[in-house]
Amino acid sequence: MPKKRRRKEDRTITKCLFPAAGYGTRFLPATKATPKEMLPILTKPLIQYGVEEAVEAGIHTMAIVTGRGKRAIEDHFDRSYELEHQIKGTSKEPLMNEVRSLITQCTFSYTRQVEMKGLGHAILTGETLIGSEPFAVLLADDLCTNGADSVLKQMIEVYEKYQCSVVAIEEVSMDQTDKYGVIAGNLIDGTDDTYRVTDMVEKPAPKDAPTNMAIIGRYILTPDIFDILRETKPGKGGEIQITDALLDQAKQGKVIAYKFKGKRFDCGSVDGFVEATNYFYEKSKREN
């Protein structure tokens, strides 16, 4: 039986913000003139996987924070009449079906981060597209996959229960903590995957890390985060960090960390990118 579609007014999270302004220096020279988010895993750019995950979670309004040299993202989520005319009726036409369907189902709006002052600053730049409602944030270089519900969909369920900001976490090996925001928290009674966050540290050295529970690139944020970000001073690396702003909410007991079900690939690193490529290649072989 087809799933009953929720009415628009029933949905709590209707917008997804994609901070996509970073330089992607780990992928130079590939990212010199091509946005990191457009690098493909097989034939699909990273950001398309992200948009598909958002759609799977019931979100159809995509808000993308871009920067210089990122126009290819806008072109990707637009019709390409000349190309479509060229391949019409050929065996290649179905290759465009997925992206065409996204263009039909979703609206895409863009704003530019003029100076790359960090993820927190990129999220604040997105305020103009989000307004004053809770919203999802998806970092497209963290590619997530799950057989059943997408990670974002799982997180929206958590948000609906606790009505505060939610971060997705994963246990990493202790020598990796300096690559992530790391949380400490107390398991909420009756759950084995949901924590009330008590502390958060951005990229701590292993000896300073409160735990090995690392935040990955999926967030649900309440809109008060914008006022907090406006006041947040540059932190680690001289950048405005979302982790620092979230700590402010956590001190009021208003951040939940959720250990998601599924698999994540860190496609912002060459190792993770290759791992994802192999995984999706094997998967496609099995399916065809």
Contact residues for ligand UTP (CB under 6 A)? 19-26, 36, 65, 113, 116-119, 121-122, 139, 141, 268
27 vs 260, beta carbon nearer ligand UTP: 27
96 vs 116, beta carbon nearer ligand UTP: 116
In the complex, what is the shortest distance from the CB of residue 260 to ligand UTP, in angstroms, rounded to a whole number? 18
In the complex, what is the shortest distance from the CB of residue 110 to ligand UTP, in angstroms, rounded to a whole number? 12
20 vs 183, beta carbon nearer ligand UTP: 20
In the complex, what is the shortest distance from the CB of residue 280 to ligand UTP, in angstroms, rounded to a whole number? 20
In the complex, what is the shortest distance from the CB of residue 199 to ligand UTP, in angstroms, rounded to a whole number? 21
What amino acid is encoded at 27 in this protein?
Answer: F
* CB 154 within 8 Å of CB 258: yes
118 vs 134, beta carbon nearer ligand UTP: 118
In the complex, what is the shortest distance from the CB of residue 140 to ligand UTP, in angstroms, rounded to a whole number? 6
In the complex, what is the shortest distance from the CB of residue 180 to ligand UTP, in angstroms, rounded to a whole number? 10
52 vs 193, beta carbon nearer ligand UTP: 52
94 vs 237, beta carbon nearer ligand UTP: 237
Q: What is the DSSP string of the chain?
A: -PPPPPPGGG-S--EEEEE-----GGGTTTTTTS-GGG-EETTEEHHHHHHHHHHHTT--EEEEEE-TT-HHHHHHTS--HHHHHHHTTSTTGGGGHHHHHHHHH-EEEEEE-SS---HHHHHHHTHHHH-SS-EEEE-TTEEEE-SSS-HHHHHHHHHHHH-SEEEEEEE--GGGGGGSEEEEEEEPTT-SSEEEEEEEEES--GGG-S-SEEEEEEEEE-THHHHHHHHPPP-GGGS--HHHHHHHHHHTT-EEEEE-SSEEEETTSHHHHHHHHHHHHHHHHHH-
Q: Which residue is nearest to ligand UTP (CB)?
A: 22
